[in-house]
Structure 1
Amino acid sequence: MNEKRTKLNPIENNITLTVSVSVAVAIAGSSTKESLAEITSLPPKARVRLYKMYLKSQLSWNVIIPAENLDVEGLMLQKAIVIRLLDDFASKKASKNLGYFMALTTLERIGEGKVREHTGDVLFPVEFSCITFKIFRGEILEGVVDKILKHGVFLRCGPTDKVYLSHQKMADYKYVPGENPIFMNEKMSRIEKDTVVRFIVVGARYVEAEKEFQAVVSLEGDYLGPISQNAT
């Protein structure tokens, strides 16, 4: 589609966005808000381990403003661009390279608009900083037990609930059936629903159709296993 430049001036001012938590919740649900709240409540030294899976990225996207919304200028136009960027950011959800799009933090630059010839809509190039969440193989993380099956458990970790811990990867733990099934070892250590578990990631993949990451994890290693019960 043909485009042409307009006289709309680029906006250079940095804008620090204060909607990061609400954007993250819109993308990933209430568990994301809880995760971010837990991190910000910790002392700086304790945040290092938890921040490993959170990445800061700088991106350049194009934002399209419909022609009917172009009767504004200055700060009102800037606001319209920011709102559209936030909508686009939330609907994007995740990408293979960057992980889950969690929070848009700073709008660095809004470039000169280009009118799309056949529609009259205007395309603005924008540069911004954001926080993303991605699980890496070999990383040690913590998750909350969400579902317990005979052959393993599914955990929630940040925005994903597709973290699988097989019974073969939790040494000495045996499945105990019942109305509320659990895994338990000889030392009476229990893995049950809502238990916080520290694990190591042994494999991760991105499912494009669902825009989701899936991970396989293990408790084989030092200092791994359940660390608290009843997280919710």
Structure 2
Amino acid sequence: MFLKVQLPWNVLVPAESLGPMLQRSIVHHLLEDFAQRKAAKDVGYYVAVTSVDSIGDGRVKQGTGEVEFPVLFSGTTFKLFKGEVLLGVVQEVLRYGVFLQCGPAETVFLSNKKMPDYRYVLGDNPMFLNDKLSSKIEKDVVVCFVVIGTQWLPEKREFRAVIGLDVDYLGPVS
């Protein structure tokens, strides 16, 4: 789910960037920092900065040659919630399940135990096959799924999601 959030961050600006284009420099460093942080436990994956709401007075950081500005900005994030029905693209097929990508979430796992009526087929292009429905789950296929749970991985700054196809209308999308 996409969320509208308002976040307070401290933006570090090198002293040599101070000058007549200060506001532009602060926004530039905010956007760089935003792109590198990837995600946060409480708001999910960072997607976009939509507006800079306020920039506070800078404070010199001793011994670093940088000035720290408190910035309040609005943005968009993406977070997976338990019970949510979403679409993902299969990235890897393994005997015990498949890994999908759903937006910025790259570690979405669908266990073979959560795919009733599908069986694993080994080969050059491994897949899960449902004989009754004549449907396949293979690399690059779009799959409709339900989120069973998520786990925050602080060392990687990302979420791991476990999903399922336990309801009739979930599965590969034509």
Q: Does TM-score exceed 0.5, indicating one fold?
A: yes
2:129 alignment partner in structure 1 = 184
1:95 alignment partner in structure 2 = 40
Is 1:144–1:197's contact at 8 Å kept on the other side of the alignment?
yes
State the distance in 2 between where 1:128 and 1:151 align.
42
Q: Which has the higher strand share?
A: 2
Matched, 1:216 2:166: no
Size of the aligned set, in residue pairs, is 173
1:57 alignment partner in structure 2 = 5
The verdict on how the C-alpha distance between 1:189 and 1:80 changes in structure 2, with shifts beyond 3 A counting, is same
2:153 alignment partner in structure 1 = 207
Select which of 64, 67, 82 maps to 1:122: 67
Select which of 108, 118, 123 maps to 1:173: 118
Deviation per CA, 1:24-52: give whole Å up to 9, x if none. Answer: xxxxxxxxxxxxxxxxxxxxxxxxxxxxx
State the distance in 1 between where 2:116 and 2:61 align.
61
Q: Which amino acid aligns with 1:191?
A: I
Q: How many Å apart are 1:119 and its aligned residue?
A: 4.7
Compute the TM-score of the two structures, normalised by the length of structure 1: 0.71
2:80 alignment partner in structure 1 = 135
What does 1:148-167 correspond to in 2, within 5 Å? 148-167=93-112
Select which of 109, 113, 121 maps to 2:58: 113
List runs of 5+ in structure 1 lacking aligned partners. 1-52
List runs of 5+ in structure 2 lacking aligned partners. none
Compute the TM-score of the two structures, normalised by the length of structure 2: 0.93
The verdict on how the C-alpha distance between 1:118 and 1:221 changes in structure 2, with shifts beyond 3 A counting, is same
Deviation per CA, 1:102-144: give whole Å up to 9, x if none. Answer: 1111111112222335555322111111111111111111101
Identical counterparts, % of pairs? 54
Q: Which amino acid aligns with 2:53?
A: E
2:15 alignment partner in structure 1 = 67
Q: How many Å apart are 1:189 and its aligned residue?
A: 1.1
SS in 2 for 1:81: helix
The verdict on how the C-alpha distance between 1:190 and 1:114 changes in structure 2, with shifts beyond 3 A counting, is same
State the distance in 2 between where 1:185 and 1:117 align.
63
1:225 alignment partner in structure 2 = 171
The verdict on how the C-alpha distance between 1:210 and 1:117 changes in structure 2, with shifts beyond 3 A counting, is closer
Q: Which amino acid aligns with 2:128?
A: F
Q: CA RMSD in A?
A: 1.4
1:198 alignment partner in structure 2 = 144
Matched, 1:85 2:33: no
